[in-house]
Chain A
Amino acid sequence: MENPFIQKVLVVVTLILALGYLVSKYFLPKKKKSDKDCGNGNCGC
């Protein structure tokens, strides 16, 4: 881990994972949890 290059690579990987999580949380449509029909106001329960 003393190699600065490896440390930089680890930072980039961590950053990509963090950005990926934030994008999937706030910008990608969520998967419906079940097919149960909840009427018009489908709550996805």
Chain B
Amino acid sequence: MSKQINIALIGNPNTGKTSVFNALTGLNQQVGNYPGITVEKKEGICKLDRNLKAHVIDLPGTYSLNASSLDENVVIELLLNRNDKDFPDVVVVVSDVENLKRNLLLFTQIKDLEIPTILAINMADRMDYKGISLDIPYLEEHLKTKIALISTRKKTGIEDLKALIENYKEMSSEPCLKASEIDNDYFNKLRKAFPNQLLYKLWLVITQDVNFGKTNRKEINAINSFKTKTKGDLKRLQQKETIKRYQFINNVLKIGQTIDVNQAKDLRSKLDRILTHKIYGYLIFFLILLVIFQAIYDWSAIPMEFIDSTFAQFSEWTKNALPAGDFTSLLAEGIIPGLGGIVIFIPQIAFLFLFIAILEESGYMSRVVFLMDKIMRRFGLSGKSIVPLISGTACAIPAIMATRNIESWKERLITILVTPFTTCAARLPVYLIIISLVIPEGSFLGLGYQALTLMLLYLIGFGSAVFSAYLLNKVLKIQSKTFFVVEMPNYKLPLFKNVALTVLEKTKSFVVGAGKIILAISIVLWVLASYGPGENFNNAEKIVSQKFQKDNLNESELSKKIASHKLEHSFIGIAGHAIEPAIRPLGYDWKIGIAIVSSFAAREVFVGTLATIYSVGSDDEETIKNRMAGEVNPILGGPLFNFASGISLLLFYAFAMQCMSTLAIVKRETNSWKWPAYQLVVMTALAYLVALASYQFLK
């Protein structure tokens, strides 16, 4: 009579597991459901030799033994329950040769349950095509397993796999990772409490919320009652376990797997060779950036002019249509210009996010990450730091939260501290308005000076982040070492729906998020600019009329002088004059000073603030840009926004840490006020000094 063993086929989704199952069982298979749940159960019989048959179960695809779905629960329940009639004598982990690293996470977890485990590496026929070579003896030795290189497409290696299954008893059941490495103290307590149990099995029972059947329910309940850690602490330990596993896998693959993209023959590899080339790669990326910034300017010019003039007309219409009074002035001179100061930038922000979404969707962004990793390492950052730095171009807040996947605390802290240097969307309105005022519209080799300036500011932001990281790496005395492996997605044509949704969602969140703050600040600023203490404000008409009595001014000129006098003696004017000595050396007047102070909460408030201040008391139907262009330097004469003061302002905003939300998120991520305080002081001081130096040099 022939003997029958149980084989479980386990693997990540899309590794060709079912093809392996079909190759092993042929027509001897049946499909049913797991008891009580609607998860499909596929099982079949495979004849190994005259005396040995195998009952093969094709388990649902799973990425790890950390269950998050019913399908994944099925895998864990079977592997933890030795009393189950289907409990495997041997597990075959089916992996995909192109994604070996990710696949090995599940393999190491199953191996640690001390069940004989074979690693079947599928799609081996694509190794030449992809330039992949594997050192099988090395991998077998370090993964403590036997490996079958198979190709279900070419029908190769299945006999080798069967031979390994036949000899499963000779296989080592030694684990890859000692469970106690996750947390020595905790696992020692666990070992003392349950001396006869496998530690990793206990760990899975404690951390996974799955059903273990009637037979050992009592024992499982006893384990579940072992509570020396909170749920949060257990999750932290699970994260630590995953990191440890990936460190182990990276070490093994560093020698056991070689990927030579120069040998690869498919289109993707050919493209990768060019796009990640050590010279052409950077050149292409630089050209793409140039095209993006030029397009942002060219495509958005007409809609921006339309929005700007529409808001100016709307403000004028409000003033004429509503009865004269304070509230009408608040609407026409405070709220509408303030909102116009943000809505005007929708076209440019939407185009920026459109290009970023296309680069991400097409798979090119992952190549940029890979490319930048080479530079990042020289400055003490990991390749993973590039993800926060690139997403920082939208907003520093999600970017700082994205640092959570950086294992090394030192690299994570440095990334958190330098990310606010990257040019976020909130800086864009400031840059765009100042550039349009102080940089000429001409072009060089078809590239506009304004677009080049904007790109330069993005590069300054990125360069400052990298340079600061270099300095922090030297200063911070924290020892750490990490590895970076990025999985390159296939190239694909971006889906219109995905790109459109990303642009819509990001633009909406910018406009709505910033819009509410700007609206509120515009209201406060208008009140501060429209009321003031003392005789100078309250008797402005009388004082100005007497002062210019001899000049024979017409009504319009006189009302402008009165409005200007009132503004200077309003609450905001008094505050502005108080800070003027500090900002005068930078080339700014008190109105710019107020805009800088009010934008300490959020940078994007700057333009709205100026729009509100310049609108107060003005009777003209003017666009924001024209109002700013018409401002005169009260001391030197000439335009207030000239080349020297404009560059000074651009550099101030490039370096200044003006975002309270970012400071709050840094506090939360570092669990200390020390780091956000450090950021605020250093970045503000740096911004002041750079702006001062540039103005004094250029004036």
Residue numbers of A with Cβ under 8 A of B are: 1-2, 4, 6-8, 10-11, 14-15, 17-19, 21-22, 25-26, 37-43
Bound form: Cα–Cα A19–B400 in Å: 28
- Of all chain A residues, the one with the shortest Cβ separation from B335 is A14
- Of all chain A residues, the one with the shortest Cβ separation from B322 is A1
- Given A39-B236, A40-B236, decide whether A7 and B326 contact each other with a Cβ distance below 8 A: yes
Determine which of B327, B523, B524, B527 lies in contact with A1 in the assembled complex, contact meaning CB atoms within 8 Å: B327
Bound form: Cα–Cα A44–B170 in Å: 49
- Given A2-B323, A2-B325, A38-B235, decide whether A11 and B527 contact each other with a Cβ distance below 8 A: yes
Which of B231, B235, B326, B660 counts the most chain A CB atoms within 10 A?
Answer: B326
Chain B residues with CB under 8 Å of A43's CB are 401, 404
Bound form: Cα–Cα A26–B662 in Å: 11
Taking a contact as CB atoms under 8 Å apart, the answer to whether B323 and A1 are in contact is yes
9 A-B pairs with least C-beta separation: A7-B325, A18-B523, A2-B323, A18-B520, A7-B327, A10-B327, A39-B235, A39-B236, A39-B232
Determine which of A14, A37, A42 lies in contact with B330 in the assembled complex, contact meaning CB atoms within 8 Å: A14
Bound form: Cα–Cα A40–B520 in Å: 35
Which B residues, 322 to 342, have Cβ-Cβ distances below 8 Å to chain A?
322-328, 330
- Minimum C-beta distance from B522 to chain A (A): 8
Chain B residues with CB under 8 Å of A17's CB are 520, 523
Taking a contact as CB atoms under 8 Å apart, the answer to whether A15 and B231 are in contact is no
- Of all chain B residues, the one with the shortest Cβ separation from A3 is B325
Taking a contact as CB atoms under 8 Å apart, the answer to whether B523 and A14 are in contact is yes
Taking a contact as CB atoms under 8 Å apart, the answer to whether A4 and B325 are in contact is yes
Chain B residues with CB under 8 Å of A15's CB are 523-524, 527
Taking a contact as CB atoms under 8 Å apart, the answer to whether A39 and B524 are in contact is no
Residue numbers of B with Cβ under 8 A of A are: 231-233, 235-236, 239, 322-328, 330, 401, 404, 516-517, 519-521, 523-524, 527, 601, 660, 669
Taking a contact as CB atoms under 8 Å apart, the answer to whether A41 and B233 are in contact is no
Taking a contact as CB atoms under 8 Å apart, the answer to whether B404 and A41 are in contact is yes
Determine which of B231, B516, B660, B669 lies in contact with A41 in the assembled complex, contact meaning CB atoms within 8 Å: B669
Chain B residues with CB under 8 Å of A26's CB are 601, 660
- Given A37-B232, A42-B232, decide whether A11 and B330 contact each other with a Cβ distance below 8 A: yes
Chain A residues with CB under 8 Å of B324's CB are 2
Given contacts A1-B325, A37-B231, 6 further A-B contacts (CB under 8 A): A1-B328, A2-B324, A4-B326, A19-B520, A26-B660, A39-B236
Chain A residues with CB under 8 Å of B660's CB are 26
Q: Can you list 18 pairs linking A and B with CB atoms under 8 Å apart?
A: A2-B324, A7-B323, A7-B328, A8-B327, A10-B330, A11-B327, A14-B327, A14-B330, A15-B523, A18-B519, A18-B521, A18-B523, A19-B524, A22-B524, A38-B235, A39-B232, A41-B669, A43-B401
- Minimum C-beta distance from B168 to chain A (A): 38
- Minimum C-beta distance from A22 to chain B (A): 5
Taking a contact as CB atoms under 8 Å apart, the answer to whether B516 and A21 are in contact is yes
- Minimum C-beta distance from A36 to chain B (A): 10
Bound form: Cα–Cα A6–B516 in Å: 25
- Minimum C-beta distance from A33 to chain B (A): 14
Taking a contact as CB atoms under 8 Å apart, the answer to whether A22 and B521 are in contact is yes
Bound form: Cα–Cα A10–B523 in Å: 12
Taking a contact as CB atoms under 8 Å apart, the answer to whether A8 and B326 are in contact is yes
Bound form: Cα–Cα A41–B232 in Å: 9
Chain B residues with CB under 8 Å of A8's CB are 325-327
Bound form: Cα–Cα A13–B406 in Å: 48
- Given A1-B323, A4-B326, A26-B601, decide whether A38 and B520 contact each other with a Cβ distance below 8 A: no
Bound form: Cα–Cα A22–B402 in Å: 27
Chain A residues with CB under 8 Å of B323's CB are 1-2, 7
Determine which of A2, A6, A22, A39 lies in contact with B517 in the assembled complex, contact meaning CB atoms within 8 Å: A22
Bound form: Cα–Cα A10–B323 in Å: 13
Bound form: Cα–Cα A45–B523 in Å: 33
- Minimum C-beta distance from A25 to chain B (A): 7
- Minimum C-beta distance from B400 to chain A (A): 11
- Given A14-B523, A37-B235, A39-B232, decide whether A25 and B517 contact each other with a Cβ distance below 8 A: yes
Bound form: Cα–Cα A18–B526 in Å: 11
Chain A residues with CB under 8 Å of B516's CB are 21, 25
Taking a contact as CB atoms under 8 Å apart, the answer to whether B524 and A18 are in contact is yes
Chain B residues with CB under 8 Å of A18's CB are 519-521, 523-524
Bound form: Cα–Cα A14–B326 in Å: 12
Taking a contact as CB atoms under 8 Å apart, the answer to whether A39 and B239 are in contact is yes
Chain B residues with CB under 8 Å of A37's CB are 231-232, 235
- Minimum C-beta distance from B570 to chain A (A): 14
- Minimum C-beta distance from B530 to chain A (A): 9
Bound form: Cα–Cα A40–B231 in Å: 10
Chain B residues with CB under 8 Å of A2's CB are 323-325
Bound form: Cα–Cα A20–B324 in Å: 27
- Minimum C-beta distance from B497 to chain A (A): 25
Taking a contact as CB atoms under 8 Å apart, the answer to whether B520 and A22 are in contact is yes
- Minimum C-beta distance from B22 to chain A (A): 41
- Of all chain A residues, the one with the shortest Cβ separation from B524 is A18
Chain A residues with CB under 8 Å of B328's CB are 1, 7
Bound form: Cα–Cα A37–B232 in Å: 6
- Minimum C-beta distance from B71 to chain A (A): 22
- Of all chain B residues, the one with the shortest Cβ separation from A27 is B660
Taking a contact as CB atoms under 8 Å apart, the answer to whether B517 and A40 are in contact is no
- Of all chain A residues, the one with the shortest Cβ separation from B665 is A43
- Given A19-B524, A22-B517, decide whether A39 and B233 contact each other with a Cβ distance below 8 A: yes
Chain A residues with CB under 8 Å of B326's CB are 4, 7-8, 10-11
- Minimum C-beta distance from A26 to chain B (A): 6
- Of all chain B residues, the one with the shortest Cβ separation from A22 is B520
Bound form: Cα–Cα A21–B513 in Å: 12
Taking a contact as CB atoms under 8 Å apart, the answer to whether B232 and A38 are in contact is yes
Chain A residues with CB under 8 Å of B401's CB are 43
- Minimum C-beta distance from B596 to chain A (A): 17
Chain B residues with CB under 8 Å of A38's CB are 232, 235
- Minimum C-beta distance from B440 to chain A (A): 38
- Minimum C-beta distance from A35 to chain B (A): 11
Bound form: Cα–Cα A1–B325 in Å: 8
Chain A residues with CB under 8 Å of B232's CB are 37-40, 42
- Minimum C-beta distance from B662 to chain A (A): 12
- Minimum C-beta distance from A17 to chain B (A): 8
- Minimum C-beta distance from A38 to chain B (A): 7
Bound form: Cα–Cα A2–B524 in Å: 23
Chain A residues with CB under 8 Å of B524's CB are 15, 18-19, 22
Bound form: Cα–Cα A38–B520 in Å: 33
- Minimum C-beta distance from B598 to chain A (A): 11
Bound form: Cα–Cα A19–B520 in Å: 7
Chain A residues with CB under 8 Å of B235's CB are 37-39
Bound form: Cα–Cα A6–B323 in Å: 11
